[in-house]
């Protein structure tokens, strides 16, 4: 028994430490990068490069003016050196003309996708997933566009949407996450480069999973994505977002904004798998991931966030739901894994405004190495939210005695009919559980995998099939180690 225990603790830890980032490679494509630094001219330059209308430039300038007045907040349970916003280039676009046939696409770019395991052709053939592939800010290829267009679904890059559907963009941009919401949302609003735009018309059920892959590629380019997703009355959409970044030593900044609008009777399912470069085992390098994600639910509508977070050196992310309409439902399912020197401060906000609104929060944190993993959540029931219901469960699993797991739930209730339950537990994998598996011929490594997988099952089950497989692979990368 003792031997087994020694293996669990030390060997596993060692394996975790030595686990290198599988997806670390750089694609060698010439990019057009504007000089580093940030000032009003840069904002104007980005806007003019993208040939944007005046209202959008005004939106950016207003956000920029506000951002200059704002300071970075330090309430999150993370530590990182101050980001030098003047040392980042705010725009990078592949130089080659991208409006070409799939066959003409730079072979290297294709290779990148292959390495990512999302080869276009394969994706097209096997899964029927339409991929809006974003490589350093400019959409390279959008497939299945025609098929979607038949149903009236708009799924394109953000810049295209600005040109082709300015009214929709103008109406909803900044309506859920105002330009001045927080420090990083303001920064994003000022300098966002590109992103995805999606509109599902009334009563349409999107026939396939919409998916976009982000990948930070150019060294020293912070990527500022903007996603705007509108589900019109009675529609349904499932949207997948996955992110990987090549291995780099400098810290890269990612400050995205995602806005979801779920109109009456609509449903949005938004899934994320994030495995950006977490830095090496000494905590050097890695992505700073400061993301603002928020959705608004109108009457009888539903937004469901599912996330599997295994990457990034520092994560600061709270996908939220504003349950504005009566009977609206918000859900949040999360697995966050931190290893080595990673830090994550993540969770959700559920704002109950309408009557009979419901929210469910399931958060599973796993910390290993020297990492710190925090859950921070807010459940707010306002005065008119009669019969609001919330269930929150956040569990933390600790592997090794140098890591930390923290829970910071905020519960604010102003209505007597609200029913709110919150529970949290923190523990490690029980020796008895491992012993039980050992007894039945399952070695310790596999046993840990089994237990971790079971522990995360509630969340992994919520992922669409295509993603669940990848998520499990990522958990393996993060925790399984090289043995076995």
Partner 1 sequence: MTTTTLTKKDILLESLGQLNFTNEPDFYQDLRQQALAEIENLELPTSKTEYWKYTRLGKIVNKTYQVTSGIEINIDQHLIPALDANIIVLINGLFNKSLSNIQEQEGVKVLSLSDGKERGVVIRDHFNKYTSTKSELFLALNNAYHTDGVCIHAEKNSIVEKPYHIINVTTGNQTISQSRNLFIGETNSSVKIIESFVNIEGSENFINNVSEIYVGENAQLEYNKIQNKEDESYQISTEQVYQKANSNFTINTITLDGTFVRNNLNIEVDAEGCETNLNGIYLGKDSNHIDNHTIVDHLKPNCNSNEVYKGILDNNSVGVFNGKVFVRPDAQKTNAFQQNNNILLTDDAVINSKPELEIYADDVKCSHGSTIGQLDDEAIFYLQARGVGKRSAINMMITAFAKDALGRISIEALKEYVDNKIETRFGN
**Which of 273, 322, 424, 456: binder of partner 1 (CB under 8 A)?**
424
Binding to partner 1 in span 106-145, by CB under 8 A: none
What is the size of the binding site for partner 1 (CB under 8 A)? 35
Contacts of 278 by beta carbon, 8 Å cutoff, 6+ apart: 21, 286, 287, 310, 311, 312, 313, 338, 339, 340, 342
Q: Which of 169, 174, 180, 94 is nearest to 134 (CA)?
A: 94
CA geometry: angle 156, 157, 163, nearest 5 deg: 90
Q: Please tell me the distance from the alpha carbon of residue 275 to that of residue 315, in angstroms, as a whole number.
A: 11
Q: Which of 483, 350, 474, 372 is nearest to 77 (CA)?
A: 372
416: contact with partner 1 by CB under 8 A:
yes
Written as six digits, the tokens of 229 are 């997703």
Least separation in angstroms between CB 343 and partner 1: 13
The residue range among 168-176, 258-266, 409-417, 437-445 that interacts with partner 1, by the rule CB under 8 A, is: 409-417
Least separation in angstroms between CB 103 and partner 1: 54
**Which of 231, 400, 434, 466: binder of partner 1 (CB under 8 A)?**
400
Find the length of the chain.
484
**Which of 402, 461, 482, 483: binder of partner 1 (CB under 8 A)?**
402
425: contact with partner 1 by CB under 8 A:
yes
Contact 193, 137 (CB under 8 A): yes
464: contact with partner 1 by CB under 8 A:
no
16: contact with partner 1 by CB under 8 A:
no
18: contact with partner 1 by CB under 8 A:
no
Q: Please tell me the distance from the alpha carbon of residue 85 to that of residue 82, in angstroms, as a whole number.
A: 9
- Of 148 and 368, nearer to partner 1 (C-beta) is 368
Least separation in angstroms between CB 477 and partner 1: 22
CB atoms within 10 A of CB 204: 19
428: contact with partner 1 by CB under 8 A:
yes
**Which of 329, 399, 463, 471: binder of partner 1 (CB under 8 A)?**
399
- Of 220 and 393, nearer to partner 1 (C-beta) is 393
- Of 178 and 409, nearer to partner 1 (C-beta) is 409
337: contact with partner 1 by CB under 8 A:
no
201: contact with partner 1 by CB under 8 A:
no
Question: Given the DSSP bridges, would you call strands 314-317 and 343-346 parallel, antiparallel or unpaired?
Answer: parallel
Contact map string, positions 69 to 88, toward partner 1, x by CB under 8 A: ------x-------------
Contacts of 187 by beta carbon, 8 Å cutoff, 6+ apart: 63, 67, 85, 224, 255
436: contact with partner 1 by CB under 8 A:
no
CA geometry: angle 100, 243, 309, nearest 5 deg: 165
Q: By CB under 8 A, name the binding residues for partner 1.
A: 75, 381, 383, 396, 398-428
């Amino acid at each position: 028994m003792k031997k087994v225990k020694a293996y669990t603790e030390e060997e596993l830890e060692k394996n975790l430490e030595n686990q290198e980032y599988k997806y670390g490679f750089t694609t060698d494509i010439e990019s057009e990068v504007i000089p580093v630094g940030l000032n009003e001219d840069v904002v104007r330059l980005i806007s003019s490069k993208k040939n944007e209308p005046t209202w959008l430039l005004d939106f950016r300038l207003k956000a920029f003016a506000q951002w200059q007045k704002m300071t970075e907040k330090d309430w999150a349970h993370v530590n990182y050196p101050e980001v030098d916003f003047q040392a980042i280039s705010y725009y990078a676009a592949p130089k080659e003309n991208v409006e070409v046939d799939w066959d003409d696409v730079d072979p290297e770019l294709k290779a990148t996708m292959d390495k990512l395991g999302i080869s276009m052709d394969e994706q097209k053939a096997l899964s029927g997933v339409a991929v809006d592939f974003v490589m350093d800010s400019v959409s390279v290829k959008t497939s299945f566009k025609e098929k979607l267009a038949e149903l009236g679904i708009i799924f394109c890059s953000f810049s295209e949407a600005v040109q082709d559907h300015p009214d929709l963009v103008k109406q909803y941009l900044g309506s859920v996450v105002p330009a001045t919401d927080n420090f990083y949302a303001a920064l994003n609003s000022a300098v966002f480069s590109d992103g995805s735009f999606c509109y599902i018309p009334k009563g349409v059920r999107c026939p396939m999973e919409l998916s976009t892959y982000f990948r930070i590629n150019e060294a020293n380019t912070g990527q500022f994505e903007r996603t705007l997703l509108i589900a019109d009355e009675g529609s349904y959409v499932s949207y997948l977002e996955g992110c990987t970044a090549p291995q780099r030593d400098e810290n890269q900044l990612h400050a995205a904004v995602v806005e979801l609008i779920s109109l009456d009777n609509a449903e949005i399912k938004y899934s994320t798998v994030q495995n950006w470069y977490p830095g090496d085992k000494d905590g050097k390098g890695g992505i700073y991931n400061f993301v603002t994600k928020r959705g608004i639910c109108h009457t009888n509508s539903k937004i469901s966030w599912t996330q599997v977070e295994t990457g990034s050196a520092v994560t600061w992310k709270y996908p939220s739901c504003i349950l504005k309409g009566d009977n609206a439902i918000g859900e949040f399912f999360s697995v966050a894994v931190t290893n080595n020197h990673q830090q994550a401060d993540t969770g959700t906000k559920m704002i109950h405004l309408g009557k009979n609104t419901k929210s469910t929060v399931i958060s599973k944190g796993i910390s290993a190495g020297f990492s710190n993993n925090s859950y921070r959540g807010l459940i707010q029931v306002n005065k008119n939210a009669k019969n609001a219901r919330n269930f929150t469960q956040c569990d933390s699993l600790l592997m090794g005695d140098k890591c930390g797991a923290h829970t910071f739930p905020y519960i604010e209730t102003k209505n007597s009919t609200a029913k709110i339950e919150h529970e949290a537990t923190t523990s490690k994998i029980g020796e008895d559980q491992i012993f039980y598996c050992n007894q039945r011929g399952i070695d310790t490594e596999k046993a840990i995998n089994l237990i971790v997988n079971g522990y995360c099952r509630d969340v992994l089950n919520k992922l669409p099939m295509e993603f669940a497989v990848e998520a499990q692979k990522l958990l393996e990368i993060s925790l399984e180690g090289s043995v076995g």
